Amino acid sequence: MEIKDRYAPSPTGLQHIGGVRTALFNYLFAHSAGGTFVLRLEDTDRTRFDEAFVKNLYDTFRWLGIQWDEGPDIGGPSAPYIQSERFSLYRQYAEKLLETGKGYRCFCSAQRLEAVRKAQEEARSSETGYDRHCRSLPPEEAARRAAAGEPYVIRLKIPLKETTRFNDRLLGDIEWKNEDINPDPVLLKSDGFPTYHLANVVDDHLMGITHVLRAQEWLPSTPLHVILYRSFGWEPPIFCHLPMVMGQDGKKLSKRHGATSIDEFRRQGYLPEALLNYVALLGASYEEGKDMYTLQELSVRFSLEKLNKAPAVFDYKKLEWYNGQYIRMKRDEELAALALPYAVEKNLFGADMTEDQRTAFVHAMPLIKERVSFLHEIPDKVAYLFSEPPVPAAAEFIPKKSNLPKTVELLTLGRGLIEALAVFSDADAEAFIKAEAEKAGVKLGDLMMPLRVALTGSRVSPPLFGSIRILGAKRCLDRIDHALASLRGV
């Protein structure tokens, strides 16, 4: 069997972790078997539809590096891939159900349906939903009323007193009593719009979808879909309802757990590789003792047998770890380009970035790679290289068990080493300053601390020797002189 699956989002909101996980698993499954991955836009909910959400969909998957084989933007043999452009098909197939007696016209008004609902509530009836009032209406009478212009919907005739059975590749054999299925659901509304159920089943069949991988929240709809397939005389696809994604409190992942829309993750400085790698592990396993995978590696290793039945727990700390790992794997130029928008937003370079500033920004990346987990942290970590940090209070300069006069001596000694340190490699600089500290009879840490504070404005900073090389001897000497003047004035 040639595998063909799909991601079929409704463009009524921003792309989120759950949707991306569904899309990713479908992409990986199709590509692991040399199959076809389809994107279909299920835009029949026109009250919540927004073109901005369609744009967000394309932007998100372009950023993640996931490309479908057929879809609205690239076409394919089953075009169009937007449901609002396929309405004539849905009416055609809904009317086929009328012809075969598997569906029927319902003329019940909204007022009558509301009255039925209220009566069921007041009676605390075990039966809820539509009361099948029009199910026994003679087809000839229904056709006559429709021809006269009376509004109607088309409903599916659910087989009564039966059980619907199907196999789920993850959950196994499932049985569902038909009496527990939504009673005779609407397939085609009075305005000609299809409901989700009709459009979904017709499109999956016509597009040749062999496997439906979707979230477990759709499991209650599956018996209805199976009945609908069989009502058309079609073979249902293979279903696989993916494990839920939960927050660490055991509840379904939502906004209360933090960022869930992919836009939010992008704004916070996550890398697409980190997000894909981590999301691919939510409910699936691949290889013992290995954490890091490229998209290509995941495509080779993925299989439905590696899915877990238990819900997956979304761990922000674990995702942060992945993000830090991928940041450290970036080339300096690549990391600088990724961090640049955050630096510009923080006004790191002033009105216009000079070439010298651009070069310094790239050279600063090795200094901070090991110290950040997010792109947005980078500008603050390197800010001292692009603007003069304020001189800290005198106490910040003074090493442990030392005093102010001794600290001034140490900083003055350090000042005399700057010209050499600005051109030495890290190894040579370390050997040089260690020798000078021994010659002066001072501890290396005591010599370096006042230098660090004078040059970076903090006791804790990126590596000092690399910072000195980027700043250059003149800027370093100016900062030290400024610091000495402040200390001597205390």
Which of the residues are catalytic? Answer: 255
Tell me how far apart the alpha carbons of residues 382 and 461 are, in angstroms, rounded to a whole number: 9
- Spatial CA neighbour of 91 closest among 38, 148, 146: 146
Do β-strands 172-177 and 163-168 pair in parallel, antiparallel, or remain unpaired?
antiparallel
Tell me how far apart the alpha carbons of residues 28 and 65 are, in angstroms, rounded to a whole number: 12
Residue 249 DSSP code: T
In the block, tokens 């300069």 appear at 397
Question: Hey, is 129 helix, strand or coil?
Answer: coil
Tell me how far apart the alpha carbons of residues 134 and 157 are, in angstroms, rounded to a whole number: 10
| Amino acid at residue number 183 | P
Number of C-beta neighbours around residue 106 at 10 A:
21
Count Cα atoms within 13 angstroms, Cβ side, for 225: 23
Rounded (10°) angle between helices 444-456 and 426-440: 120
Question: Hey, is 126 helix, strand or coil?
Answer: coil
- Sign of the CA dihedral with 106 first, then 108, 109, and 115 last: negative
Distance separating the N- and C-terminal Cα atoms of the chain: 82
Tell me how far apart the alpha carbons of residues 87 and 458 are, in angstroms, rounded to a whole number: 65
Q: Is there a contact between 209 and 6 (Cβ–Cβ < 8 Å)?
A: yes
Q: Is there a contact between 50 and 11 (Cβ–Cβ < 8 Å)?
A: yes
CA distances from 106 to 184, 185, 341, 390 (A): 10, 10, 57, 77
Beta bridge partners of 105: 154
Beta bridge partners of 252: 246
- Spatial CA neighbour of 178 closest among 145, 146, 226, 211: 226
Q: Is there a contact between 336 and 378 (Cβ–Cβ < 8 Å)?
A: no
358-382 burial: b if 16+ Cβ within 10 Å, else e: eebbbbbbebbbebbbbbbbbbebb
